[in-house]
A and B are shown apart, each in its own frame.
Chain A
């Protein structure tokens, strides 16, 4: 089955610790995205990558870092510099080249709680 996997589903972190959220896709999509969602609110873009070894900051990149060494993988690190990291994190992927709407396909998300 093609899709996007995120792990872990729930993550607890102590203040001052870095933590890495995993995102893997087997849809052969070029682009991948990380979003943050706070309770009752919409999605805010953290980082996105349209091609391997390249990525761009989104609207709220401060305190986060990413890498895109493989087409299938786009891990997100939440660093200790992120002041309020408790949130729901969603990873997505899409085509960006060729015809079509380039709709995004999402993983199940990771709920991060800072203790």
Chain B
């Protein structure tokens, strides 16, 4: 069974500053993927970034980076130079990559990020 824990229900950050959203996970799979999604108030889920369990380097996508610490089972999202449009709910998720449940994701409860002007 897989489990995702996001311990920060809400976070505030000043515009142009960096912010870290926490995510820890638990799984018995050896090969898995970790994902972050953004959900604005409109409701649609937007894929942000992916990290494979065997990737040695942390993933980066523009202003998003994933701080992957495998031994600690953490996959924190770092958003640099926050913008007002970053205000949204953020979900961490994981899925196995090579067993019969490949692609089936488990989601955390989310963190609501508010960017202050």
Contact residues in A for B97 (Cβ distance below 8 Å): 101-102
Contact residues in B for A41 (Cβ distance below 8 Å): 109-110
Contact residues in A for B42 (Cβ distance below 8 Å): 108
Tell me the total A-B contact number using a CB cutoff of 8 A: 63
Are B104 and A45 touching (Cβ within 8 A)? yes
Number of interface residues of A (CB under 8 A): 26
Interface residue ranges of A73-115 to B (CB < 8 Å)? 88, 90, 92, 94-97, 101-109, 111
Asked whether B35 is an interface residue with its Cβ less than 8 Å from the other chain, the reply is: yes
Number of interface residues of B (CB under 8 A): 24
**Nearest B residue to A94, CB-CB:** B103
Asked whether B107 is an interface residue with its Cβ less than 8 Å from the other chain, the reply is: yes
Contact residues in A for B110 (Cβ distance below 8 Å): 41-42
Are B44 and A102 touching (Cβ within 8 A)? no
A52 to B86, CA, bound (A): 37
Are B102 and A103 touching (Cβ within 8 A)? no
Cβ of B87 to closest chain A Cβ, rounded Å: 15
A48 to B35, CA, bound (A): 18
Cβ of A37 to closest chain B Cβ, rounded Å: 8
**Nearest A residue to B97, CB-CB:** A102
Asked whether A50 is an interface residue with its Cβ less than 8 Å from the other chain, the reply is: yes
A residues sitting closer than 8 Å to B (CB atoms) are 30-31, 33, 41-43, 45, 48, 50, 88, 90, 92, 94-97, 101-109, 111
A-B pairs, 4 with minimum CB distance:
A96-B103, A101-B50, A106-B45, A101-B33
